């Protein structure tokens, strides 16, 4: 199959949106990159070149066209801990390991499993990020509240008039002009370090090797999760579908090169990606331009960028954060399902007050528990018996769906309660496609429990692929196999005959 390069297949009609998206995102990314570099302990230049290198390489080789890459807060928190504990040399070594591991994870095609994250968790995570951005930008807001408020209003109101020109670009230009000529402020982006980075192979003490490998593994997983969650957010906004494994390979390439040139590793950046999409960016060109523009600013035009008021940048991000919260989706999902609404709220709060990985892990776990609990009602259905009852009372139920470890206990508990007055319980497995060992053991336990109470469990509709497992785990005996493989109607007729004869 002949491969078509990105440049040959580029949609020219989107050139304007990609240029504006790349420019706007570069300006928004500039102070964040500098601040995150300083916070990490590696210096402002490490943060700036992280945005440049990962912004170009991770985007070029990645699998999410409209995504913008660079240093992020969640990743930087981990980097700060590593820097303080092991020093900068070990930090850069761990980042190289992380980048290489991300490439391996992508090559092993493990990225697809991020899609197991439920939609309410993604909505809650996105909302939480929006609130976090708004809260964290208060430090910029306080530098000039009036100027910041004007910028926020432009971000929120300008789209009501037209969406052809991105509000973030208008807010940046108008806000900077107002800050320069009408409302003076001393809180500016400030001087930007220039000069190209140099290739440096990290060195470390031999006793740190295991810690470096372990830290690299943690960084790799966090980077994978955050990048692919950012990809999902971009998918929601652009109605497209990213390539998970390619995205991880791209992240790994960008991060490995960045670490080898003294820069921080990065991830898919939700804030910058949202800014890019809102500004019109839709292809890899916007992300690559974002990196190239940062490089030009660093080398040639650092003075101009240094004059941008922090209040304007804070206002742009606060406006973006307000628009980022998914109000309608949250309301609709909460109205449709109280459980989904609860998961959204919990995930949002966890994102704000803990961190990304905990929020996603606990949110997903809560979704799983909620799903498992609801399965008992959906999976176990009563089968109406049309013939008169004899001396023994008969109750019949059908399991609708697979019986596995997650639902076995819920179904058996429900069965024990509902069939309390019956002497014989017929359980139809015809609509149960598969059963695992936990499900089989659950059936065995319920059978033994019923027998201890003087009752009897009879299986019907057992499929050929289940017989061996059920027999080996002593759920059914050799004498019961023939009857259990019959349809439920035939089994009930057989029980009726025995019931009448008695």
Which helix (H) or strand (E) segment is 395 a member of? Answer: strand 394-399
Write the pLDDT tens digit of every residue in 372-389: 666 655 567 777 665 555
The pLDDT confidence band at residue 154, using thresholds 50, 70 and 90, is: very high
The pLDDT confidence band at residue 334, using thresholds 50, 70 and 90, is: confident
CA 377, 358, 271, 56 dihedral sign is negative
b or e along 428-438 (b: 16 or more beta carbons within 10 Å of the residue's beta carbon)? bbeebeebeee
The pLDDT confidence band at residue 1, using thresholds 50, 70 and 90, is: very low
Residues in a beta bridge with 309:
188
Asked if residues 316 and 202 have their Cβ atoms less than 8 Å apart, the reply is no
Asked whether the predicted pLDDT for residue 445 surpasses 60, the reply is yes
Domains parsed from the chain with CATH numbers: 12-326 (no CATH), 383-501 (3.30.750.24)
Asked if residues 106 and 247 have their Cβ atoms less than 8 Å apart, the reply is yes
pTM: 0.67
Interior angle at CA 31, CA 27 and CA 35, nearest 5: 160
Query: What is the phi/psi pair of residue 339, to 5°?
Result: -65, -45
Asked if residues 286 and 18 have their Cβ atoms less than 8 Å apart, the reply is yes
Q: Comparing 102 with 218, which gets the higher pLDDT?
A: 102
Asked if residues 314 and 170 have their Cβ atoms less than 8 Å apart, the reply is no
Asked if residues 66 and 247 have their Cβ atoms less than 8 Å apart, the reply is no
The pLDDT confidence band at residue 103, using thresholds 50, 70 and 90, is: very high
Mean pLDDT of the chain: 83
Closest CA to 303 of 196, 182, 197, 188: 188
Give the 3-state secondary structure of residue 438: helix
């Amino acid at each position: 199959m002949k491969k078509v390069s990105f440049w040959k297949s580029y949609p020219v009609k989107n050139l304007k949106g990609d240029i504006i998206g790349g420019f706007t995102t570069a300006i928004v990314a500039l102070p964040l990159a500098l601040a995150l570099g300083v916070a990490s302990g590696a210096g402002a230049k490490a943060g700036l070149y992280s945005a440049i290198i990962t912004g170009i390489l991770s985007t070029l080789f990645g699998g999410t066209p409209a995504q913008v890459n660079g240093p992020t807060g969640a990743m930087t928190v981990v980097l700060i801990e590593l820097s303080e504990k092991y020093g900068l040399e070990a930090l850069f070594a761990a980042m190289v390991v992380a980048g290489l591991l991300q490439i391996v994870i992508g090559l092993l095609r493990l990225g697809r499993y991020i899609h197991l994250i439920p939609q309410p968790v993604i909505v809650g995570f996105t909302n939480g990020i929006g609130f976090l951005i708004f809260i964290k930008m208060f430090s910029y807001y306080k530098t000039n509240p009036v100027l910041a408020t004007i910028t926020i209003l432009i971000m929120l109101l300008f789209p009501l008039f037209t969406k052809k020109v991105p509000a973030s670009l208008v807010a940046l230009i108008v806000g900077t002009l107002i800050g320069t000529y009408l409302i003076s402020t001393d809180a500016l982006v400030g001087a930007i370090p220039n000069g190209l980075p140099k290739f440096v192979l990290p060195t470390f003490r031999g006793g740190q090797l295991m810690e470096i490998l372990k830290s690299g593994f943690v960084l790799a997983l966090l980077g994978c999760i955050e990048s692919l969650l950012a990809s999902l957010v971009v998918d929601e906004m652009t109605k497209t579908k990213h390539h998970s494994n390619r995205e991880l390979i791209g992240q790994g390439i960008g991060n490995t090169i960045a670490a080898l040139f003294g820069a921080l590793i990065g991830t898919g950046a939700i804030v910058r990606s949202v800014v890019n999409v809102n500004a019109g960016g839709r292809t890899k060109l916007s992300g690559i331009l974002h990196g190239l523009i940062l490089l030009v600013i660093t080398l040639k035009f650092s003075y101009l960028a240094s004059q941008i008021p922090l209040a304007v940048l804070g206002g742009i991000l606060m406006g973006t954060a307000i628009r980022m919260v998914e109000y309608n989706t949250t309301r609709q999902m909460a109205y449709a399902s109280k459980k989904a609404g609860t998961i959204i709220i919990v995930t949002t709060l966890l994102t704000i007050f803990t961190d990304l990985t905990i929020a996603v892990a606990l949110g997903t776990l809560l979704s799983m528990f909620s799903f498992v609990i609801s399965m008992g009602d959906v999976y176990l259905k009563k089968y109406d018996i049309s013939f008169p009852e004899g001396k023994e009372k008969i109750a019949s139920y059908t399991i609708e769906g697979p019986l596995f470890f997650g639902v076995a206990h819920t179904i058996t508990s429900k069965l024990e309660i509902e069939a309390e007055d019956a002497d014989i319980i017929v359980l139809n497995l015809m609509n149960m496609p598969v059963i695992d060992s936990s499900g089989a053991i659950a059936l065995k336990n319920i059978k033994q429990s019923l027998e201890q109470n003087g009752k009897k469990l009879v299986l019907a509709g057992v499929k050929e692929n289940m017989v061996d497992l059920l027999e080996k785990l002593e759920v059914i005996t050799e004498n019961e196999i023939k009857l259990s493989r019959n349809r439920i109607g035939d089994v009930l007729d057989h029980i009726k005959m025995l019931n009448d004869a008695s």
